Amino acid sequence: MDVNWDAIGAIGEILGASAVIATLIYFAIQIRGLTADSYAESLTRVDEGERDLRKLSIEYAQLILRANEGGELSAEESFILNEIFLSNQSFRLFAYLRSQAYGRDGVVQAKIYARFLRNNPIFAEYFRSAEIKTSTNPGVREFSERVSSEMSE
């Protein structure tokens, strides 16, 4: 009985190639699952951040209303409002850049932030003088431009 080593070698190569393809498919499925998990986690963080900002706005609602009406503020009150503004701006920028990382354009985040600024003149004033507009980071500059254009509409 003659053993055909070429046929055995070809069968081995086919089995090896099949194993490599199966491994690649398995890794692709795992990576897709990790991406979906990461996206879900980022949405959860965005929701938590939104909730925290709402709590902060509710806690200081009287101060925000007084400032929006042009009332006099102490140095401490101005500091508190500036911190609320910076927290909101940082959160919205983070959400905007994160949405871009997941293949979305971030327009919704810019619109939400612009609406917040339109509804709160004191924060709109802070935004107009914010250093974010001079950023050299293209994503930050684009966010600032989108918010500015949304505010002017």
Cα separation, 63 vs 66, whole angstroms: 5
Amino acid letter, residue 143: F
Alpha helices in 60-119, H assignment, sequence order: 61-68, 75-101, 107-119
Domain ranges for the chain, please list them. 5-152
24's tokens: 């690649």
Q: Which residue has the tokens 């003149």?
A: 121
Q: Are 102 and 88 in contact (CB under 8 A)?
A: no
**pLDDT tens profile 22-52:** 999 988 888 877 777 776 776 677 678 778 8
**pLDDT tens profile 113-123:** 898 898 889 99
**pLDDT tens profile 73-99:** 899 999 999 989 988 888 888 888 888
Amino acid letter, residue 152: S
